[in-house]
Structure 1
Amino acid sequence: MVSVLQACAALTALEQGRFLHGYILRRGLDSILPVMSTLITIIHCNVELAERASKRLFELEPRNAGNYVLLADIYAEAKMWDEVKRVKKLLEARELQKVPGRSWIEVKRKIYSFISVDEFNPHMEQLHALLAELSTEMKDRGYKPQTKVVLYDLDEEEKERIVLRHSEKLAVAFGLINTKRGETIRISKNLRLCEDCHYVTKFISKFTNREILVRNVNRFHHFRDGVCPCGDCW
């Protein structure tokens, strides 16, 4: 069942995903954690279905803060800020800590780790400069930062600054600087990619003529020439 759900995600088959949601409930498969975790990645653009799946995930894994954060992400994408605040209060009431996003890249047999806020990383100034340059280039070509993924009600400029410094973007920038031209960049991430990171990585793969492989918590993404096989639904 998990492999079928992943196939739906890869093919952007949202209607099939909705059908499978009903099938899972009828067959009593909603008690299987991998099934529900995979399902919510497919139906995240449907708030009502995502709420139902999240409720079941909370029952299966009441101490997993990542499930709450995923639901908050879905609400933020829909600009349902009151619901975002409600989920945050749930996290606080249950004394759960959000797991910070972290990305890893291997360069010359050494593993480098990145988080969005890291004052002690000696590479940050250089990485921020490159990302700012790429962001300007992307905006000239029609890119609009997907600031809806930011779970705080801030002004647009601050939201843009936050999304530009997500850990995956930092790892990609590090790979561009420290690998040979044309070399494939391979990254791992402990959370699901946000919409903006996915879009930006597609652009970078095309603009720099690089293949970029990203393994996140749910699946692989293979970016090449501005395209990812997931079809922008993951």
Structure 2
Amino acid sequence: MHGFGHESLRVFEEMIKEGIPPNIITFVSLLGACSHAGLVDEGRRLFESMVDYNVTPRAEHYACMVDLLGRAGHLYEAVELIQSMHIEPTPQVWGSLLGACRIHGHVEYAEMACSRLFDLEPRNAGNYVLLADIYARAKLPIQADVLKELIEEHALEKVPGCSWIEVKKRLYSFVSVDNKNLQLEELQALIGEFVAHMKNEGYVPDTGSVLYDIEEEEKERILLGHSEKLAVAFGLINTGRGEVIRITKNLRLCEDCHSVTKFISKFTEREIVVRDTER
């Protein structure tokens, strides 16, 4: 989960030398490590070697491989792998493909994944939102609007983004665009200052994740209200110089928050650790 792919492989090699047989969990961990570290060839080799250790690939192993191939841009190979599965692909497998399609903006395969996901997980709003996001980034507003209408029609609820930070042994939580927070204006103003500095250095806000049909300026304002940005600002205001700011988020960190957090870390010379659902 922390990107130490090569270290994971070295431990595996030591394990084999010691005569300890790997099991299904070993390969889930290894393939996941390869995926996060972008070790495509190593991942392929490990997946193919499973039979040598009498381990039959399960759905979670296929999901790891689809994620690995998809992140690296090998979407066609990922689809071929799904089609060759000896078991029925699970939502986890199709979800890995959908996530890869979002990274690379592949509409056709995203639609393929969602055609199955909508049957397997009809109440999962996240799949609808991801496909709408892919449509929006591909400049297909009509298709994106259809997805948003379906979400409302089926009364599907998207889990709101929420981030936590501990300061002086107290836990504080922030929800995206949280109008009830008394410090909201102060926090957004601080983030806005950093964003202004970033723009001078070539930063362009990634508004693709904002699916509303509104002006670009308003989309940027919504980005300022993302929970992880609010938590970072709160940490800067309420902790001492040199203290590590540690934040936990309940959803995947968006690309814009990732870029802004890196800049703030560099600009303030503060270590900022954000743990999301993936890493």
Match of 1:131 among 166, 169, 191: 191
2:122 paired with 1:65 = no
Query: In the superposition, relative to structure 1, how do residues 205 and 155 fare at CA in structure 2: closer, same or farther (>3 Å)?
Result: same
Aligned residue-pair number: 219
In structure 2, what is the equivalent of residue 32 of structure 1? 90
Which consecutive unaligned segments of at least 5 residues does structure 2 have? 1-26, 39-67
2:81 paired with 1:54 = no
* Counterpart AA for 1:38: S
Match of 2:99 among 32, 41, 44: 41
Larger radius of gyration: 2
Higher relative contact order (CA 8 A, sep 6+): 1
In structure 2, what is the equivalent of residue 232 of structure 1? none
Equivalent residues of 1:105, 1:187 under 8 A apart? yes
Q: Distance in 2 between matches of 1:50 and 1:105?
A: 34
TM-score (norm 2): 0.70
In structure 2, what is the equivalent of residue 83 of structure 1? 143
In structure 2, what is the equivalent of residue 141 of structure 1? 201
Equivalent residues of 1:2, 1:38 under 8 A apart? no
Equivalent residues of 1:2, 1:34 under 8 A apart? no
* Counterpart AA for 1:200: V
Query: In the superposition, relative to structure 1, how do residues 130 and 40 fare at CA in structure 2: closer, same or farther (>3 Å)?
Result: same
Q: Distance in 1 between matches of 2:86 and 2:116?
A: 12
**Structure 1 residue 10, shift from structure 2 partner:** 4.0
The alignment partner of 2:246 has SS state of strand
Q: CA RMSD in A?
A: 2.3
In structure 2, what is the equivalent of residue 8 of structure 1? 35
**Structure 1 residue 28, shift from structure 2 partner:** 4.8
2:227 paired with 1:200 = no
- Percent of pairs identical after alignment? 55
Q: Distance in 1 between matches of 2:150 and 2:184?
A: 33
Q: Distance in 2 between matches of 1:2 and 1:43?
A: 22
Equivalent residues of 1:114, 1:170 under 8 A apart? yes
Query: In the superposition, relative to structure 1, how do residues 167 and 29 fare at CA in structure 2: closer, same or farther (>3 Å)?
Result: farther
Per residue, is there more helix in 1 or in 2? 2
TM-score (norm 1): 0.83
Which consecutive unaligned segments of at least 5 residues does structure 1 have? 221-234
The equivalences for 1:95-110 within 5 A come to 95-110=155-170
The alignment partner of 1:142 has SS state of coil
